């Protein structure tokens, strides 16, 4: 098993729902360690930069409006197979398809408002972590 780091966002719908503590506790109870955490409110431009890989997709404007609509909590999680473990805990992108007990099933409303984001691969994790955190902020 590889010890690795991944990037996580608790999205504006979940911060509004008041489940930040529950989500962080879930990650910790599943063996993921919080290396870094902060609450931010992205501008539309910052959200567009973060999701640049989706620029041009039909949902891009709605996605970046949503991600800049309220505060988020951004985090770096560390643990054995942290990328796939985080994705397992989150569940499928669309809450309708997510397994029972996953964060997106518990707290997501639909594919646009799906409570959490997590990196999908080591390369994207590195880019996403560096977008929000300096190396000196990871402990």
- Our answer to whether residue 117 is catalytic in this structure is yes
Q: Nearest distance from residue 59's CB to ligand CMP, in Å?
A: 3
Q: Which of 130, 134, 110, 99 is nearest to 6 (CA)?
A: 130
What does the binding site for ligand CMP look like in residue numbers (CB under 6 A)?
A: 54, 59, 63, 93, 111-112, 114, 117
Q: Which of 3, 130 has the CB closer to ligand CMP? A: 130
From 41, 54, 110, 117, active-site residue: 117
Q: Which of 9, 38, 31, 21 is nearest to 138 (CA)?
A: 38
Q: Which of 30, 59 has the CB closer to ligand CMP? A: 59
CA angle 110, 5, 19 (to 5 degrees): 40
Catalytic site positions: 117
């Amino acid at each position: 098993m590889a010890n690795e780091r991944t990037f996580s966002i608790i999205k504006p719908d979940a911060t509004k729902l008041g489940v930040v503590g529950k989500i962080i506790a879930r990650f910790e109870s599943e063996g993921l360690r919080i290396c870094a955490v902060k609450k931010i409110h992205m501008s539309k431009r910052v959200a567009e930069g973060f999701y640049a890989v989706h620029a041009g997709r039909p949902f891009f404007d709605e996605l970046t409006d949503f991600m800049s609509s309220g505060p988020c909590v951004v985090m770096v999680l560390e643990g054995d197979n942290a990328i796939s473990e985080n994705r397992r805990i989150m569940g499928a992108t669309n809450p309708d398809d997510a397994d029972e007990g996953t964060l997106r099933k518990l707290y997501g409303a639909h594919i646009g408002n799906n409570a959490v984001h997590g990196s999908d691969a080591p390369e994207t994790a590195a880019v996403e972590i560096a977008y929000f955190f300096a190396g000196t902020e990871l402990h």
